[in-house]
Amino acid sequence: MLNKLNISPGKQKFIVYTVLTLVTLAVFWQVNQFDFVNFDDVVYIIDNFHIQQGITLDGFRWAFSTRYFNLWTPLVWFSFMFDYQMHGLHAGGYHLTNLILHILSTLLLFRLFNRMTGAIWRSAFVAALFALHPLHVESVAWIAERKDVLSAFFWMLTLCLYVYYVEKPDIKKYLLVLCGFVLALMSKPMVVTLPLIMILLDYWPLGRFKSKNNSLVSWQLKEKIPFFLLSAVIVIITFHTPDNTPSELFPFGSRLANTPVSFVTYLEKTFWPHDMTVFYPFPAQTPLWQILGAMLLIIIISIAVIVMAKRLPYLFVGWFWYAITIIPVIGIIQVGNFAMADRYHYLPSIGIAVMLAWGIPLMFPPEDTRRKILFPAAIAFIAVMSILTWRQCGYWKNNIDLWNHALAVTKNNYMAHNNLASALFEKKEFEGAVYHYNKALGITPYAPAYYNLGVIYYLLGQHQRAIENYNEAIRIKPDYAAAYYNRGIAYHVLGQYPRAIESYNDTIRLIPYYADAYNNRALVYLNLGNKDIGCSDARKACALGVCKTLEAARVKGRCH
């Protein structure tokens, strides 16, 4: 269409870059006003001492050595440290960093496919669907998902560098590709599949298989082995760390049954994005017909694209791009207590976009028909997606909007009830908080819900009910140090000193450097007249950084 207006390819590409940037900004700009959410943002940033030190040598060491949340993602921590130095704890700054990374990934994606194929508008469609699909709101609007947007940026950059290397191979370009891949791996382990995507692109659109038929295996092995070795290292680091002990696992059979259903559900939501939420509860039971139907559909599509691979290579590449990139997070190896997650659609969706961009025009052979029908249809489709994305983005404004929406579109969502209760608790709306904590517990025995109920009852002066809820939290999670500590406080207030000491003992057993536990235990011993042990605990608390109570005790002459 633009060719008929005599607009040069260079200007067409400039138009694409500009429109992609402006539309994505318009749809997502609202995140600038959004808060942190009580789903990982707190532990990743708000309560993370290392992030709040900014970029320091100690922070550098911590970022490279930590397995925080069982993941090795040093670049994510560096990016948060940078944000903290720039914005403090103003959430809008973190959101804008996510948005900028998302836009840069979008522009690199367009450049990648345009460079490989020369097809400006098909490449633009792929990039636009990636930028503006409602399922990708989670990756952009959730600060803790910096992993997605940061790894995607380095994923696109690595593939762009790979194309430049393929065009004119030399060792410097190869090392740049390898460096880009290392940076992607340092952002999120999910990108371990990138070497396989390189092989797919070698087949189409780069066409390298045709020129290297005689040495196909040796060429691929020689070129890709360093990448596969790096992927293997990240897999080992991710799944063989001392603290990688999931607290709750679903049976392997249940996870296996959920795999094909989730695989197809992501496909369904690609074309009909509905009932999207931050947390999808794992189903108690998956109907057999859904499992068999999903498996049959996957098999049929896979066979079809393999059979047509030589004639329609883009369908083969697009389908296996989707399948390969989603396998690490499809749920066979459990990484959370959920059935699926919108963020896992982020990179895999590119494969489906490629299938649409190059496959649908086959149904409209005349070029003139394509211009008259497909161009406006594509714009309309992207416009609808943009509206849905803008609307979905609005649910991430704050905790209450986010979790109320989750409850509206899912059933038996204990996580939504629990986190909504926590949000209400912060606003001191105790009645609503108790209601939702109890709703969460009616779905599943969830230790944090019992713990938080205990905190509320304590604040309401119902100390015995608080203790009962702390006991339930400890029964479910025997290493719940905070529950032991708060139970000790409740016993202390009730004057049940031996039980208070026992609870503080358990707290210190789990966290030997818990200063407040030493401090409170000191007060109990002093109240019992045991000055030796009490003052010893008080000195220990002071050494660990808590001195106020010790100073008060000294003033009263209780410790000498």
Which tokens go with 556?
Answer: 């009263």
> Taking Cα atoms as reference points, which of 329, 334, 359 lies closest to residue 344?
329
Q: Is 545 left (phi over 0), alpha (psi -120 to 50) or beta?
A: left
Compute the chain's Rg from CA coordinates: 27
The DSSP string of 108-128 is HHHHHHHHHH--HHHHHHHHH
> What tens digit of pLDDT does each residue of 442-462 get?
999 989 999 999 999 999 999
3-state secondary structure 172-205: HHHHHHHHHHHHHHCCCHHHHHHHHHHHHHHHCC
**Phi (first) and psi of residue 234, to 5 degrees:** -65, -40
**Cα dihedral 318→321→322→323 (10° resolution):** 120
Please state the domain extents for the chain.
Answer: 9-394, 400-555
Q: How many whole angstroms from its chain centre is CA 340? A: 11
Please compute, for residue 306, the number of CA atoms within 13 A of its CA located in the half-sphere on the CB side: 6
What is the pLDDT at residue 304? 97
Strand blocks (E) in 379-534: none
Would you say the C-alpha torsion 271, 275, 276, 279 has a positive or negative sign? negative
What is the pLDDT at residue 5? 54
At residue 281, the 3 state secondary structure works out as strand
Instruction: Collect the ranges in the chain with pLDDT lower than 50.
Output: 242-248, 551-552, 555-556
In this structure, are residues 189 and 230 in contact, taking their beta carbons and an 8 Å threshold? Answer: no
C-alpha distance across the termini of the chain, in Å: 89
Distance CA 219, CA 209 (A): 10
In this structure, are residues 31 and 146 in contact, taking their beta carbons and an 8 Å threshold? Answer: no
> Taking Cα atoms as reference points, which of 540, 525, 534 lies closest to residue 559?
534
Q: How far is CA 452 from CA 77, 176, 251, 493, 500, in A?
A: 29, 50, 28, 18, 19
Q: Which residue's entry shows tokens 């460079």?
A: 115
What is the pLDDT at residue 237? 86
Distance CA 529, CA 522 (A): 11
Instruction: Assign 3-state DSSP to the chain and report helix, strand, coil percentages, each to 5.
Output: 75, 0, 25
Distance CA 234, CA 63 (A): 15
> What tens digit of pLDDT does each residue of 77-103 get?
999 999 999 999 999 999 999 999 999
CATH number of 400-555: 1.25.40.10
Distance CA 83, CA 64 (A): 18
In this structure, are residues 45 and 143 in contact, taking their beta carbons and an 8 Å threshold? Answer: yes
